[in-house]
Structure 1
Amino acid sequence: MPRLTQFTRYADAQAHASGAALWDLFDGDREHLNIAHECINRHADGSGRPAVRIAHADGRDEILSFDEIAAGAARFAHWLIAEGIQPGERIAFMLEPSLPFYVCLFGAMQTGAISVPLFTLFGPDALRLRVDDCRPSILVTNADKAELARSLDGPRVVVADDAFLASLAGFPDRITARSRANDIAVFQYTSGTTRELPEAVRHTHRAIVTLMFAALYGTGIRPGDEFFCPSSPAWGHGLWHGTLAPLALGVTTGTFAGRFDPVRLLQALDSFGITNMSAAATHYRMMKNSGRGGDFTFRFDKLSYTGEPIDPSTLEWIDAHFKVPACSMYGTTEIGVVLVNYPGADDFTVKPGSLGKAIPGQRLQVQRPDGTACAPGEVGELMLWRGGAWMTTKDRARIDEDGYFYHCGRADDVIISAGWTLSAVEIENTMLKHPAVLECAVIGVPDEQRGQVVKAFVIAREPGSDALVRALQDFTREKLAQHEFPRIVEFVDELPKNPAGKVNRKILRDREAAAAAAAA
């Protein structure tokens, strides 16, 4: 019986995808399963085959093999056991992609402990909130972050330097990973502000199986791909879609370490010969804005993106430089990926800007406030059928006559101005077509006459001026409608973003509300 990885067409996905077919891709079963075994140990065959390629911001390339990671993770697991760590205890690590990162990630899982990846740019407040929430027994970090880590109450801090790695050499380089499929494997924190703790999503070892629907049909990953995901593996996209999914299929993956540099990424995509990349919309936009796309050679067969829609001008740049369509992959950490564009399927038409269609087995609908289905072209709330009832995604969407879904912004990104319903996303996408605009974000701000008016925060290629404000307003009115334009434009040097690179409009709204309250 052929495996799902042997099918690439959309029609085959609808005909053959099932829960049973997913389980055929793994060694474990519904009772006993371990992510570390599935991703690393079973592929460590002594051949030295590369598992992870790391493009460091300083220009270094690092390649880690399945054998190297498996041996290091086993030694770390034996060390944890010798230190008295019990199943269910949390092992946190705040590290850039590196051998210590993967050793901690997979080593902890093999003991039955829970891996907790933490973002390396967390400040004291953000880190303290998460540590206080998950209460790890051990926190592994680097020398630069050690002082910050030791300022926290509770966890034992271990510095993952050469001396520590050398100390593990005396432990066995093999271990039998034992866990039940429903045991917790990972605490995954979603992005959020330092004053508001996002809830940790508790992923079981079984999650690696259900993840495969998104991998096969969202990123289109198949054995033989040269894969890359520049998103940090401390977050959902970088960990699950960029790390665990490809490794579980024995596919070499790639990642970025250090301060993000779009030109360094372009260089890595060329030198590694990457054929399949999944990235955030912001990564693509920054590569376009670098102006260096023409300096490198690319070999892409498949591209995907997540986090937010890509503006039309960036999609045009992708088509011109990468020669394959960028496929949206829509979902959240809580619900998983539910809408995809089936990269690599020659019988599926990728419509620019579309979220695509549901992955096999999922049911979605755009609904009016009364719960009835919207007609094609009508904007409503995107709902997901889950557990015998409709649940909200908190996103607005529409469908077209062919059943493709389109994102129309978060429910709280809708702007009501003088009775008109305006889309922040649509205005942003239009402004991004102006040659003077590098990045922008749009929100609604209070107005006595209109209720709300549109305010745009703009990173421009040239100094901000009244003349540029008028040019942007006229440009937007001409492209959209006479009432759809930013009545207020503020030029800024940067926009607040979450760690996945998505613009955080909530921070902008909160700032405006605070400023209005202070003025009042």
Structure 2
Amino acid sequence: MTRLADSCDYAFAQAHYTPQRLWDFFDGDRARFNIAHECIDRHAAEPARLAVRVAHADGRDEFITFRAIAEASSRIAHWLRARGVQPGDRVAVMLDPSLPFYAAMFGAMKCGAIAVPLFTLFGPDGVRLRVADCAPRVLLTNAEKAPAGAGIAGTETVIADASFMEALAAFPGTYKPETGADDLALFQYTSGTTRELPAAVKHTHRSVVVLMLAALYGTGVRPGDEFFCPSSPAWGHGLAHGTLAPLAMGVTTGTYAGRFDPVRLMQALQDYGITNLSSASTHYRMMRTSGAAGRFRFAIRKLSYTGEPIDAETLRFIDETFGVPACSMYGTTEVGVALVNYPGASDFTVKPGSLGKAVPGLEVQVQRPDGSPAAPGEIGEIRLLRRGEWVPTKDLGRIDEEGYFYHAGRADDVIISAGWTMSAVEIEDVLMQHPDVREAAAIGVPDPVRGQVVKAFVVSPRQGDEDFARELQDFTRARLSQHEYPRQVAFTAELPKTPAGKINRKAIRDAEAARRVTA
């Protein structure tokens, strides 16, 4: 029987793809389905079969088997039920990639609870915003981050350290899931494009079925690949494409834990013999600017990126260093992956800078404001046809004469920096908590390494100098995330307003762009 994983080629995908064939990858069906079983338990029969390689920033390598995750997650499932956690309750997990992280996330889903992975660099405000939204019964974290969850009403904070894992031995190492395909399994937080404050994208257990589209044609994952994705599994790319999709196929995945270092990443790519790399655009830029790539030997055969476009110089670096085309993978957390470049396809030409073409079975258009299709070369909004309706992405784009899509900027106030999606309003809200800030506006400005960085414009009665700027940066970083703060701060007497009295970020962006042109 022909299976979708039998070939990477574009023509094969168009000829053989049907939605029903995605279900062929799984044991479950439209009635009974559990992500923990599909991604972990069914691959655990061989004790030594490797699930995850973790490259720690301190140089350690951690190799975790499917069997180890299956047993530890079953014990956590029993532990959660013993504490009164019921199906549908939320269990937040704020840990770096490690056995405790995977055991906690899959254990929560295994017992019917909803797993909520949280970024370990969130500060107190960042944690509380998300915890207040999802109201978890339990927050599993480490000793360093435990104070961020302390005192949150209705949430028990538990330190998932070595002694915690040892104590789990009192519980059985097997657990039979009883979830339905449409039961909620995951909340994944984003500062995305549909709300000004962090929004939880809610995934059912069956969502991993649709995710296989991105695995097959966005990252090109196939059995036999040695896969690696350095993005944090608390975010969409690292969770969906770096963790769930490859594990569902039984493919060993790799990830990064700790403060990012491009040299450490390249060491891991060499040592693990990685053949398929999917990364945020900024990771490639940082590898290039490190100047260290020539020290390593790579075995990369498929390579993809997401987050934002890659500059021409970094595209040249990828071509010279890895010898394979850089394949963009475009989508949003809310609607999934839509445009891909079919990594590994011998019959698909990858055009530098292009978003590629639609995944099989999905119709994508660049449309004018009235909903009519834009002509080749004409800029409009990228929209996806879902359940008979055109869904806006709030991204601008264009197509060429051959039907390839190109990104033309964002249509909202979301800022993407180094692959992280950040909310301008969330950053402004924190800045406004400072006693010396009267008004604040945040926008994204170009940066050669990160694509964009946050620039804050601040109105204050206090003198605006370098010391005050650093104070505001530290103030914001301590309350949101280590990456989520204004790397540039400008002080101004007033901010432009709309007729309704709201801060006009478009006017600020336009003025900043003009200033850069004349600078």
Global fold match (TM > 0.5): yes
Query: Mean Cα displacement is larger for which, 256-265 or 75-84?
Result: 75-84
Q: CA deviation at 1:444?
A: 11
- Per-residue Cα deviation, 1:91-126 (whole angstroms, up to 9, x for no partner): 111100011000001101111111010110111111
CA distance in 1, matches of 2:293, 2:39: 33
State the match for 2:308 in structure 1: 308
Secondary structure at the counterpart of residue 144 of structure 1: coil
User: Are positions 1:175 and 2:153 aligned together?
Assistant: no
State the match for 1:146 in structure 2: 146
| Residues 37-436 of structure 1: pairs in structure 2 closer than 5 A | 37-191=37-191, 197-412=197-412, 432=448
CA distance in 2, matches of 1:374, 1:70: 50
Distance 1:440 1:82, change over 3 A: closer
The answer on whether the counterparts of 2:191 and 2:199 sit within 8 Å (CA) in structure 1 is: no
Secondary structure at the counterpart of residue 173 of structure 1: coil
Partner amino acid, structure 2, of 1:230: P
The answer on whether the counterparts of 2:242 and 2:278 sit within 8 Å (CA) in structure 1 is: yes
Paired positions, count: 450
The answer on whether the counterparts of 1:339 and 1:358 sit within 8 Å (CA) in structure 2 is: yes
State the match for 1:517 in structure 2: 495
CA distance in 2, matches of 1:214, 1:264: 27
User: Are positions 1:26 and 2:4 aligned together?
Assistant: no
Secondary structure at the counterpart of residue 112 of structure 2: coil
The answer on whether the counterparts of 2:455 and 2:490 sit within 8 Å (CA) in structure 1 is: no
Secondary structure at the counterpart of residue 158 of structure 2: strand
Distance 1:261 1:445, change over 3 A: closer
- Per-residue Cα deviation, 1:379-424 (whole angstroms, up to 9, x for no partner): 111121122122211111111111000001112489xxxxxxxxx9
Partner amino acid, structure 2, of 1:60: R
Distance 1:4 1:441, change over 3 A: closer
CA distance in 2, matches of 1:81, 1:300: 43
CA distance in 2, matches of 1:36, 1:265: 28
Point out where structure 2 has 5 or more consecutive residues left out of the alignment: 415-442, 458-472, 498-502, 504-519
The answer on whether the counterparts of 2:397 and 2:408 sit within 8 Å (CA) in structure 1 is: yes
| Residues 2-13 of structure 1: pairs in structure 2 closer than 5 A | 2-13=2-13
Partner amino acid, structure 2, of 1:198: P
CA distance in 2, matches of 1:508, 1:139: 30
Partner amino acid, structure 1, of 2:495: A
Distance 1:43 1:441, change over 3 A: closer
Secondary structure at the counterpart of residue 212 of structure 2: helix
- Per-residue Cα deviation, 1:6-54 (whole angstroms, up to 9, x for no partner): 1221011001111111001100001110000000000001331110000
The answer on whether the counterparts of 2:192 and 2:333 sit within 8 Å (CA) in structure 1 is: no
CA distance in 1, matches of 2:183, 2:298: 41
Secondary structure at the counterpart of residue 397 of structure 2: strand
Partner amino acid, structure 1, of 2:250: G
Query: Mean Cα displacement is larger for which, 324-333 or 368-377?
Result: 368-377
Q: CA deviation at 1:153?
A: 2.6
CA distance in 1, matches of 2:46, 2:72: 14
CA distance in 2, matches of 1:256, 1:299: 18
State the match for 1:460 in structure 2: none
Secondary structure at the counterpart of residue 121 of structure 1: coil
State the match for 1:472 in structure 2: none
The answer on whether the counterparts of 1:413 and 1:443 sit within 8 Å (CA) in structure 2 is: no
CA distance in 2, matches of 1:382, 1:25: 30
The answer on whether the counterparts of 2:354 and 2:405 sit within 8 Å (CA) in structure 1 is: yes
Q: CA deviation at 1:256?
A: 0.3
Partner amino acid, structure 1, of 2:102: Y
- Per-residue Cα deviation, 1:255-283 (whole angstroms, up to 9, x for no partner): 00000111100110000000001100011
The answer on whether the counterparts of 1:130 and 1:197 sit within 8 Å (CA) in structure 2 is: no
CA distance in 2, matches of 1:399, 1:117: 36
Q: CA deviation at 1:191?
A: 3.1
Partner amino acid, structure 1, of 2:309: P
The answer on whether the counterparts of 2:217 and 2:340 sit within 8 Å (CA) in structure 1 is: yes
State the match for 1:461 in structure 2: none
CA distance in 1, matches of 2:115, 2:453: 37
Secondary structure at the counterpart of residue 394 of structure 1: strand
Partner amino acid, structure 2, of 1:277: L
Partner amino acid, structure 2, of 1:314: T
Give the TM-score taking structure 1 as reference length. 0.81
Secondary structure at the counterpart of residue 354 of structure 1: coil
The answer on whether the counterparts of 1:366 and 1:380 sit within 8 Å (CA) in structure 2 is: yes
CA distance in 2, matches of 1:196, 1:395: 16
Distance 1:439 1:138, change over 3 A: closer
| Residues 431-510 of structure 1: pairs in structure 2 closer than 5 A | 432=448, 438=449, 441=452
CA distance in 2, matches of 1:413, 1:33: 38
Q: CA deviation at 1:372?
A: 2.2
The answer on whether the counterparts of 2:455 and 2:486 sit within 8 Å (CA) in structure 1 is: no
Partner amino acid, structure 1, of 2:188: Q
- Per-residue Cα deviation, 1:230-258 (whole angstroms, up to 9, x for no partner): 00001111001000000000000000000
CA distance in 2, matches of 1:319, 1:20: 36
- Per-residue Cα deviation, 1:286-345 (whole angstroms, up to 9, x for no partner): 111100111100001100011111111100000000110110000001010000000001
Q: CA deviation at 1:161?
A: 1.0
Distance 1:515 1:8, change over 3 A: farther
Partner amino acid, structure 2, of 1:517: L
The answer on whether the counterparts of 2:137 and 2:156 sit within 8 Å (CA) in structure 1 is: yes
Secondary structure at the counterpart of residue 234 of structure 1: coil
CA distance in 2, matches of 1:87, 1:440: 41
Identity of aligned residues (%): 62
Distance 1:138 1:372, change over 3 A: same
The answer on whether the counterparts of 1:183 and 1:204 sit within 8 Å (CA) in structure 2 is: yes
Distance 1:326 1:440, change over 3 A: closer
